[in-house]
Amino acid sequence: MAEVSPKVMIPESFQFQVSSSDIAGQLTLIWELLKAPLIVPLLTLGVYICLAMSLMLFMERVYMGIVIILVKLFWKKPDKRYKWEPMQDDLESGNLNFPVVLVQIPMFNEREVYKLSIGAASNLSWPADRLVIQVLDDSTDPAIKLSKSV
């Protein structure tokens, strides 16, 4: 096979400046030759793409700001949208006006907090006959399961 001479990589107009044995000089010269026509336009294109994306982000922020302001000004408030009224105390029906509420307390090997969470759910200000409390226990420790059941 024929060996490729280092002079092949460099244009003939620049060959007189670098000796044939100076590889670092040849690489520097190739970099200088490629930098202007190849690297600079790619970087310029990248700058323009970043500028366009920044402008798009700015426009999106302005649009979302306008939408949020319009929603806050013209959106119906919950009390106007959901025609709700506070529950009236009716002596005849007693607690039947109140819906049945289910409170679920999930636990998994939580020895320190099970008394607090069950106590907090028991002390809710809701009629006792309309409140259901479920403790969902997936504990793997038998000592914790026994202490909760006692």
What is the residue-wise DSSP string for 37-93? IIIHHHHHHHHHHHHHHHHHHHHHHHHHHHHHHHHHHHSPPHHHHS---PPPP-TTT
For the chain, give the percent of residues with pLDDT over 90: 27
Q: How many domains does the chain have?
A: 2
* Residue 111 pLDDT greater than 80, yes or no: no
Dig out the tokens for 2 from the structure: 């024929």
Judge if 24 and 60 occupy the same domain: yes
* Whole-number pLDDT of residue 136: 87
Judge if 21 and 61 occupy the same domain: yes
Model confidence band, residue 12 (pLDDT cutoffs 50, 70, 90): low
Query: How confident is the model over 53-64, as pLDDT tens digits?
Result: 999 999 999 999
- Report the C-alpha gap between 104 and 106 in whole angstroms: 6
* Whole-number pLDDT of residue 64: 97
- Report the C-alpha gap between 7 and 20 in whole angstroms: 7
Judge if 69 and 102 occupy the same domain: no
Query: How confident is the model over 22-63, as pLDDT tens digits?
Result: 888 888 888 888 888 888 889 999 999 999 999 999 999 999
Domain around 106:
94-149
